[in-house]
Copies of this chain bind each other. A is one copy, B any other.
């Protein structure tokens, strides 16, 4: 039997935009991995009538309801009361939970006096499965009534995530038949609509696995999702579709189940025992920043120069002044000289450079916004890409940086550089 879950997040702070509903993202991923469908998320404030209305709607369209938030000690925390009422349950005092709450409080505030409202958290729906909370005070719980399973989890993500993984998942696994496996292929170098046009017929024809595209900044993700009795069978269903996609898009597919292009580049550099460095003008340190966002970057990244002025391009990277005068800073020639200079100055095996116009205004030579040169210097020579990017400074910088990583990736995997 296929189960359908609905998520209800409770908290006025979500409706005011103080925080994003990241619990829903975490839960959705986890439920999808269990083969449980999720058709709706709802967010509602700390208001009993409106929460009740949301629960009544959820009861009519799902057989699993998971709430997050509203389990704490303050008077705003009303989730248990409302859910118990909606399903005709009483709240009963659980001494073991009370004990855990007192212990937790003492560990947090040794010798301090706990206010009585904390013990509200020890009242739980009669007959429920108690999810003890090792990551905070409020216990969670699960019960079944009227053919619906209700699971209540605390709201703070640092409690909700482990409570889901260690308490709710084992409870849900007992219900599941069949599992979901998915694989995400990452594509760089073709727009979403072109990718989709190329795949439309296949996407419409496929039912298990399914194939769906998602646009990222300058990239497209293709997710293949299969359902079967076991993970192994589900994975086996994915294999031929992955092959089909890779045959169509070839080297535009830069990875599978990876977070980013820089993660792929970091892995390739480690594998080959090579180091890289950067020389950045228009991206102003973004390439270095993205690579060093990843822990372990120090094994392959020597450093970088952000040469925002011609002085630094000449003085630190050794770009000849005559070249800067003749071609201007935004030129293929200067990009090459920057990469060559960085490779020498930083003492690395490979160096990428970027110079261009991020906007919002053209540069002093009237080069248009979005014209960027990216170069890669290697022991075997220098490659250059000319880019024409659009859609604002932030996107231009991001896509330019991804192009720099793509040039490194192609070089390290023995591919020629693509035309811009």
Contact = CB atoms under 8 A, between A and B. Distances in A.
Interface stretch (A91-99, A122-130, A236-244, A310-318): A310-318
Given A278-B306, A390-B107, A394-B158, A297 B316 contact: no
Nearest to A213: B74
Contacts of A316: 303, 305, 316, 345-346
A207 interface: no
Contact of A298 (B29, B193, B289, B308): B308
Contact of A57 (B32, B57, B397): B57
A54 B40 CA distance: 9
Contacts of A75: 196, 200, 204
B15 A38 contact: yes
A43 interface: yes
A223 to B, nearest CB: 7
A284 interface: yes
A259 interface: no
Given A42-B40, A295-B359, A108 B191 contact: yes
Contact of A223 (B18, B30, B43, B360): B18
A143 to B, nearest CB: 25
Interface string A290-303: 01110101100111
Interface stretch (A20-28, A82-90, A144-152, A377-385): A20-28
Contact of A50 (B40, B44, B358): B40
Interface stretch (A109-117, A165-173, A265-273): A109-117
Nearest to A278: B306
Interface string A389-418: 011111101000000000000000000000
A292 B302 contact: no
A45 interface: yes
A292 B355 CA distance: 13
Interface in A117-159: 117-118, 135-136, 156, 158
A39 B50 contact: yes
B117 A196 contact: yes
A81 interface: no
A305 to B, nearest CB: 6
A16 interface: yes
A44 B54 contact: no
A287 interface: yes
Nearest to A197: B115
Nearest to A61: B53
Given A158-B395, A308-B298, A214 B289 contact: no
A376 B5 CA distance: 51
Interface in A355-388: 358-361, 388
Contact of A39 (B28, B44, B215, B311): B44
A236 B65 CA distance: 43
Nearest to A19: B25
Nearest to A306: B304
Interface in A191-211: 191-194, 196-197, 200, 204
B284 A297 contact: yes
Contact of A289 (B285, B295, B345): B285
B15 A196 contact: no
A347 interface: yes
A307 interface: yes
A333 interface: no
Nearest to A203: B75
A13 interface: yes
Nearest to A54: B40
Contacts of A288: 280, 284-285, 288-289, 306, 308
A309 interface: yes
Contact of A117 (B20, B53, B197): B197
A212 interface: yes
A311 B275 CA distance: 13
7 contacts: A13-B214, A17-B32, A73-B196, A75-B196, A285-B288, A288-B288, A305-B316
